[in-house]
């Protein structure tokens, strides 16, 4: 009975916590889908371009890393905000 | 009933800033607390924290590396010159890479060499800060929004002031309010008016993204490693399985550590690269 009482008292807080966790989890999952698709495309196009023109491989590698970092930046911004929403 | 371990608390205790240091054989050392300084309407607390101490350690290590390299180079040149050997050779490879392929390649031949010291400092400081977090009893200063925010602030100041110096006041204003090419008449005026807040926000958002990218990359890696370690404790009461779980967790942790090492180098390079790209963008007229 005591346990039920404790559970009932914390129900509202637990619900808020659960909702925040649910929101953060969904947010993280969706963000990673977007990042995976984007960086996967960059990788595939870069590898194709290097296969077509191996002399330009240094330039292509540089552009690939730069673009991947930019997309990663957006992904991590979303992840940081997901963490923020969980904490708030 | 066994106490459930507070994994969240452990993770935050290891990644967030603290008022004391954890030293190897001494244990917890409290850092001095200074009286808050009242400036204007704000009270600022200037007492050193864990990340401040490690930031100073990283700065000292950067200075030490460069001083030793300079001394080695001086000695080698006094003895006859030729290609540098040893520490000077390794440093020359990295420094020339950052100077030529990052700074000069993106800023242009004329001004690139002038900005190279700043880009090099960014690269080396961020690299050492990132690597300090991977050492036992170490903390990552760049895992602190304030530190990355300060670095991004210096980048913002450098980008905008270098733009103002290179383009002149009129040219600089033209980077904010420019007529999109190929439009005339009313559309041109409308588009220019719409572009003004967009460009202004862009100027703020780019260093903001730099700050967030570095902070999140550093913190996320440590979160994963610490979570994997926490998994060992969560499953601690399962008699036989806990060894299997511990073994798998440690294996994953080793892989994540290697990835963290790569990310440390990559993020330092990315910060320096993006800063030099933004500086380079401001050097040329549209």
pLDDT tens for each residue of B109-146: 888 889 999 999 999 999 999 999 999 889 999 999 99
pLDDT band at residue A4 under the 50/70/90 scheme: low
How many alpha carbons fall within 13 Å on the CB side of residue B133? 32
* Residue B32 to residue B188: CA distance in whole angstroms: 60
Q: Please name every residue paired with B37 in a beta bridge, in sequence order, or none if there are none.
A: B44
| A66 interfacial to chain B (CB closer than 8 Å) | yes
List, for residues B143-160, the tens digit of each pLDDT value.
999 999 999 999 999 999
Range in A3-12, B218-227, B244-253 the model is least confident about: A3-12
Residue of A nearest to B214 (CA): A73
- Mean per-residue pLDDT of chain B: 89
Nearest chain A residue to B209 by CA distance is A73
Q: Residue B175's closest CA among B151, B147, B203?
A: B203
Contacts of residue B72, defined as CB under 8 A and 6 or more positions apart, other chains included, come to B84, B86, B87, B88
Sign of the CA dihedral B47, B52, B54, B58? negative
Does residue B266 sit at the A interface (CB-CB below 8 Å)?
yes
Query: What backbone torsions phi and psi does residue B219 show, to the nearest 5 degrees?
Result: -70, -40
Q: Which of B202, B270, B281 to mutate to test the interface with A (most CBs of A within 10 A)?
A: B270
CB contact under 8 A, B270 and A79: no
Residue A83 counted as domain residue:
yes
Contacts of A61 in chain B (CB under 8 A): none
End-to-end CA distance of chain A: 32
Mutation for testing the A interface, residue in B12, B212, B222 having most A CBs under 10 Å: B212
Nearest-angstrom CA–CA distance, B156 and B167: 16
Pairwise CB contact (< 8 Å): B217 & A72: yes
Position A14 in a domain: no
Both structure tokens of B1: 């009933």
- The sign of the dihedral angle between the CA atoms of A57, A42, B155, B47 is negative
Residue among A77, A78, A83 with most chain B CBs within 10 A, to mutate: A77
Q: Is residue A12 part of a domain?
A: no
In a domain, A68, yes or no: yes
Domain count, chain A: 1
Residue A78's CATH number? 1.20.20.10
Domain housing A37: 19-87
Which of B52-56, B62-66, B279-283 is predicted least confidently? B279-283
Q: pLDDT tens for residues B3-44?
A: 677 888 888 888 888 888 888 888 888 888 888 888 888 888
Domain annotation covers residue A38: yes
The ipTM, to two decimals, is 0.73
3-state helix, strand, coil in chain A (%, to 5): 95, 0, 5
Percent of all residues in chain A with a pLDDT value above 90, rounded to a whole number: 38
Query: Is A56 within the bounds of a domain?
Result: yes
**Chain B touched by A74 (CB under 8 Å):** yes
Query: Terminus-to-terminus CA distance in chain B, angstroms?
Result: 69
Mark yes or no for CB contact B215/A65 under 8 Å.
no
* pLDDT, average across residues A29-49: 95
């Amino acid at each position: 009975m005591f346990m039920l009482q404790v559970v009932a008292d914390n129900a509202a807080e637990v619900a808020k916590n659960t909702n925040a966790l649910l929101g953060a989890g969904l947010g993280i999952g969706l963000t990673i889908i977007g990042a995976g698709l984007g960086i996967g495309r960059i990788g595939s196009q870069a590898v194709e371009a290097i296969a077509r023109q191996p002399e330009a491989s240094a330039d292509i590698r540089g552009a690939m890393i730069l673009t991947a970092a930019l997309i990663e930046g957006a992904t991590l911004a979303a992840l940081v905000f997901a963490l923020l929403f969980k904490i708030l | 009933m066994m106490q459930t371990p507070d994994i969240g608390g452990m993770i935050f205790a290891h990644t967030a800033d603290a008022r004391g240091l954890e030293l190897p054989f001494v244990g917890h050392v409290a850092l001095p607390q200074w009286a808050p300084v009242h400036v204007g309407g704000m009270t600022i607390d200037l007492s050193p924290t864990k990340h401040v101490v490690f930031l100073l350690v990283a700065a000292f290590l950067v200075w030490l590396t460069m001083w030793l390299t300079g001394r080695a180079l001086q000695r080698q040149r006094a003895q006859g010159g030729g290609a540098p050997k040893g520490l000077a050779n390794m440093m020359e490879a990295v420094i020339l890479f950052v100077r030529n392929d990052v700074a000069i390649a993106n800023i242009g031949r004329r001004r690139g060499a002038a900005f190279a010291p700043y880009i090099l400092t960014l690269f080396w400081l961020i690299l050492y800060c990132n690597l300090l977090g991977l050492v036992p009893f170490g903390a990552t200063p760049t895992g602190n929004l304030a530190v990355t925010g300060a670095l991004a602030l210096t980048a913002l100041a450098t980008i905008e002031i270098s733009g103002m110096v290179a383009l002149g006041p009129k040219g600089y204003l033209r980077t904010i309010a420019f007529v999109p090419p190929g439009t005339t008449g009313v559309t041109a005026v409308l588009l220019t008016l719409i572009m003004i807040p967009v460009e202004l926000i862009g100027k703020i958002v780019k260093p903001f993204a730099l700050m967030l990218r570095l902070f999140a990359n550093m913190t996320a890696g440590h979160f994963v490693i610490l979570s994997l370690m926490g998994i060992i404790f969560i499953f601690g009461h399962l008699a036989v399985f806990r060894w299997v779980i511990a073994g798998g967790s440690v294996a994953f942790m080793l892989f994540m550590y290697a990835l963290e090492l790569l990310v440390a180098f990559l993020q330092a390079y990315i910060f320096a690269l993006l800063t030099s790209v933004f500086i380079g963008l401001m050097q040329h007229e549209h």
